[in-house]
Structure 1
Amino acid sequence: MVTDTQVWKLMDAYEKKASVTKAAMHADMDRKTASKYLQQGKLPSQIEKPVRSWRTREDPFDEDWPELALRLKDAPELEAKTLFEDLLERKPEHYEQGQLRTFQRKVKRWRAQMGPDKEVFFPQQHRAGEALQTDFTFANRLGITLGGEPFEHLLCNVVLPYSNWQCVTICRSESMAALSEGIQEAVFRLGRVPQFHQTDNSTAATHNLGSGKRAFNDTYLDLMRHLGMVARTIGIGKSEQNGDVESSNGALKRRLEQHLLLRESRDFDSIEAYRAFLEGVVTRANRTRERRFLEEFGAMKVLAVKRLPAYAELVVKVTSWSTIRVKYNSYSVPSRLIGERVVVRVWDERLEVWHAQSHQLSIERLVGRAGHLVDYRHVIWSMVQKPAAFERYRWREALFPTLTFRKAYDALSEQLDVRGASVEYLRVLHLAASTGQAEVERALELLLEAGGLKSADPVKKLVDKAPRTAPADVASMVPIVVDLKAYDSLLSPVEVSR
């Protein structure tokens, strides 16, 4: 297609060179085409093209179209591909697969000219300081790694729709703990709260009533009442009603992608380093929204409450397996707690186990369902006395803390029968729990490199011979002698009048 720029070049070159051939070459145009434009003296955009109202070839679907149009009218949701496949199956002698695209274009024209009315979306005017919108978005495609390990996570994006000011937090799942952390981080950073908080129908904020409708969770409503906001949600399946934060999700990830390219690395030393990077990117973006943000800031009411801890508390009983079940996942705990009821504080990224108001341990929280996280140190003291249980233990893979331990068990299995290998491996694992995993692993590596492993005894000998770092002595505290005589010089006799 010839452009206006080409014709400008053509006319300019023709005035200078007075040669159609040379001017056409200069404009990168065929000589006949150049001659036509020179004769007309107009740009392509100025030439009125006749509107063609006839087909250049016969419509292959004319014969069957009345029937097909009737089917589309009766069932507008029918897809063109489905309708064509049915037509091809019924009349293979008339049609072929290569006509699909032609048929899709014909159906598209029919829908535009004769089809049913489509849903109309109405743009809304946002009011300054009226609402806060929150949504979760997956960030795995950013390819973030922590210390070289892939970091699967989501971002909780909180947006003021009027100014597009945003606050972003890192989370592992769409949980109530993550939602609470994201909302509170935003409002306490602002020091203000709007009238409404709007979110979608995620399970973090709502639950199914069984009638196709959803209602707010009590925990979420308690948070809204505490912060002084009114909860509102969008229609089920109506993500466009949360349009500002939905579009902000895409813009946020594109912005992060660009800054990661500038950084020339997607690896971070820790989650704190990644959080600082994220905060820097969002802060720079918020600076461009300052004028409208100041309008919103002035329209919101002052936040006058304290921050709530972003966790939920559950009371669970420790099973005879030395495990607890929290949010559809299983976690091991010290066996001394078997039979006890413990309080579990469910944070977004961790669990805290408390017994009688005493903190027992913290555990990384699993994402998803039907998972398990078993620490061999919690069960080894019993299993070493019941070695037959090892072979079919439900979570046996958790008893191989590293690949070296797995190789050690395989080496023992080559030398001993099933029971013998289990007994000796459990002795090795018991040694790791009672002395130190790193020391035992190093001893296993040396023995495996030397040609094999037949029992736990050589491992224990190597560990016993290994030098151990003694704990540093606590420096003796010398009592401080305070000489109060120095203060006497500050005193002088004062005459008291009577």
Structure 2
Amino acid sequence: MSKVELYAAIRRDHRGGMSMRQLERTHCVTWRTVRKALDAAWPEPRKKLPPRETSLDPFKPVIDAILRADLDAPRKQRHTVTRIFHRLIEEHAADVSYGMVRRYVAVRKPQILVESGEAPLEAFIPQTHPPGMEAEVDFGDVTVRLAGELVICYLFSLRLSYSGKAVHRVFASCGQEAFFEGHVHALRTLGGVPRSKVRYDNLKAAVAQVLGLKRARVESDRWIAFKSHLGIESFYCRPGIEGAHEKGGVEGQIGYFRRNHFVPVPEVDSLAELNELVEQWDRQDDARRIDARPTTVGEYFVDERPLLMPLPEEPFETCRIFTPRVDRYSQIPVWANRYSVPVRLIGRRVRVVLHASHLVVYDQNVEVARHERLIAKGGCHLELDHYLEALVRKPGAFPATALEQARSAGRFTPIHDAWWAQARKVHGERDGTRALIEVLLLGRHLPHEHIVAGLAAALRADALTADAVALEAREAAQAENEPATTPPMHTHAGQPAATVTSLHEWRLAHLPPDTRPLPSVTAYDQLLHHRRTSGDDHREGEAQ
């Protein structure tokens, strides 16, 4: 029985006519307890005992002095609890535990900050966001295992303040092109633009200079044009951690999205594959509820979507344009990385269109190369096909960096290696390598999988020429488009028979049927008879 229930029973029995002595005997309590129960229905709170002395008490002034000295120290070089604990032991021979120090610092440190006036108590005012009016934007870094390598990418997030509906996109960088492409993707997904302000921190993609501690900013020209195109009204938060709460919705949204969808670390082959997963996760999050809201995010967004401003019909070019010169290694520099182009362009300037996740290289409006954008700085992305014309003249340079990257990407398969090794064994190092380069040149006209099939068939038949590979690759393409009605022949091991069609047979098989009549030699027989008769007459005259 609790003390409240005991007091209630004593008061009830007293109203029934019991005396004080009877109440003592009935409830087994003292006269003082009965008196307190009759005087008040609610028991008095238990008096707190005075704090006991601990072994930390002599050292509390020392800890206070350390915390006060930290107020003038650099923010990243202030004492941690562990450092305070070690100093007490090393400098003062204190016999204290780490837990005692941690509990005292947790209580005393905020008090010292308030006493110093450095961190005054700040009041936060609840806000109401009308539907279709406001949004928040930010970047957050995420770790991804991309093509087997652990890399850091950047998660763009645009969140509507009323419904909490958020759209995310992962990019290789957080530059201006990614900033613009993230807006375009998010606003297309949402179906409109917020009518009032969109909150930002001071990203370099938008802000060129922060003017003092006020909200005045010098914005970049492309960002001003982009805002004008979409009709966005920007609102910049205070610099640093002091302004983080001004867009706390998107800050918390990025943390939620990272904890719930990027744990464990996702493993993908490309950013395109990862962004497909991100779109699925965004749709799944429409079914969640924020705090104690009565309905889901998706249901709130249904009410908010018709109130957004419509998107402009004409697109805005979000990419960046560069015009680098191709060096003697047939490479171009783009933002601390290097990318290959065809060797015929060495020494010329090309036009590079840089997007958030890839780049396209043009030579006089003709696309000559396309690369996925490298994430780490100082990288180099080479295409083996860009160097084939030079390698035909220099086959000895074939084991190059581009070959290793082609192997890593799966474009240069073990079948290529096996055919190359056999070709070098038969034709010699130089001619065998040149034959392989001629095979690789076929990739400009035939699909990669058909060339691999042609190499496999030629290798089984020991046909180590580029012409044989080309014929078998075309036959594989034809078999894929027009499947044969009869099953293929197999050897005893169950493998397809290794037959290579000669060029003469291949041409005859593709000629139309000959419907002309067979030739006759009758006219020639008449000539032979006339000649025999003339010869007999001449021999008879001589005899006479």
TM-score with structure 1 length normalisation? 0.65
Letter in 2 for 1:100: Y
Give 3-state SS (helix, strand or coil) of 2:48's partner: coil
Partner of 1:324: 332
Equivalent position to 1:218, from 216, 221, 224:
221
Q: Is the 8 A contact 2:168 2:278 kept in 1?
A: no
Q: Structure 1 residues 346 and 123 mapped into 2: Cα distance closer, same or farther (>3 Å)?
A: farther
Distance between the aligned counterparts of 2:455 and 2:470, measured in 1? 13
Partner of 2:191: 190
Q: Is the 8 A contact 1:404 1:445 kept in 2?
A: no
Residues 25-59 of structure 1 show CA distances to partners (whole Å, capped at 9, x for unaligned) of: xxxxxxxxxx99xxx9x9xx98954423222xx52
Letter in 1 for 2:405: A
Q: Structure 1 residues 250 and 433 mapped into 2: Cα distance closer, same or farther (>3 Å)?
A: same
Q: Structure 1 residues 421 and 133 mapped into 2: Cα distance closer, same or farther (>3 Å)?
A: farther
Describe how 1:239-254 pairs up with structure 2 within 5 A.
239-253=244-258
Distance between the aligned counterparts of 2:362 and 2:288, measured in 1? 41
Partner of 1:204: 205
Distance between the aligned counterparts of 2:225 and 2:194, measured in 1? 15
Q: CA deviation at 1:357?
A: 2.6
Residues 92-140 of structure 1 show CA distances to partners (whole Å, capped at 9, x for unaligned) of: xx346x7222222222232244444535362452442443211234455
Q: CA deviation at 1:331?
A: 1.3
Distance between the aligned counterparts of 2:70 and 2:128, measured in 1? 38
Give 3-state SS (helix, strand or coil) of 1:90's partner: helix
Distance between the aligned counterparts of 2:126 and 2:323, measured in 1? 45
Describe how 1:387-466 pairs up with structure 2 within 5 A.
387=395, 389=397, 397-400=404-407, 402=410, 404=413, 408=417, 424-425=432-433, 427-434=435-442, 438=449, 458=464, 460=466, 463=469, 466=472
Q: Structure 1 residues 187 and 463 mapped into 2: Cα distance closer, same or farther (>3 Å)?
A: closer
Give 3-state SS (helix, strand or coil) of 2:323's partner: strand
Equivalent position to 1:230, from 218, 233, 237:
233
- Which sits farther off after the overlay, 247-256 or 158-167? 247-256
- Quote the sequence identity (%): 20
Partner of 1:314: 322
Letter in 1 for 2:51: W
Distance between the aligned counterparts of 2:379 and 2:430, measured in 1? 25
Distance between the aligned counterparts of 1:375 and 1:356, measured in 2? 21
- Matched length: 414
Partner of 2:386: 378
Q: CA deviation at 1:244?
A: 0.8
Partner of 1:368: 376
Distance between the aligned counterparts of 1:89 and 1:319, measured in 2? 61
Q: CA deviation at 1:75?
A: 2.0
Partner of 2:124: 122
Distance between the aligned counterparts of 2:254 and 2:108, measured in 1? 36
Letter in 2 for 1:201: N
Q: Is the 8 A contact 2:439 2:470 kept in 1?
A: no
Distance between the aligned counterparts of 1:54 and 1:324, measured in 2? 73
Letter in 2 for 1:122: F
Partner of 2:49: 52
Q: CA deviation at 1:224?
A: 0.8
Q: CA deviation at 1:157?
A: 1.8
Q: Is the 8 A contact 1:177 1:310 kept in 2?
A: yes
Q: Is the 8 A contact 2:136 2:198 kept in 1?
A: yes
Partner of 2:348: 340
Unaligned runs of 5+ in 2: 6-27, 72-77, 290-294, 483-544
Partner of 1:165: 165
- Which sits farther off after the overlay, 247-256 or 193-202? 247-256
Q: Is the 8 A contact 1:154 1:172 kept in 2?
A: yes
Q: Is the 8 A contact 1:319 1:338 kept in 2?
A: yes
Q: Is the 8 A contact 2:326 2:345 kept in 1?
A: yes
Unaligned runs of 5+ in 1: 8-34, 451-455, 474-498
Letter in 2 for 1:245: V
TM-score with structure 2 length normalisation? 0.60
Letter in 1 for 2:236: T
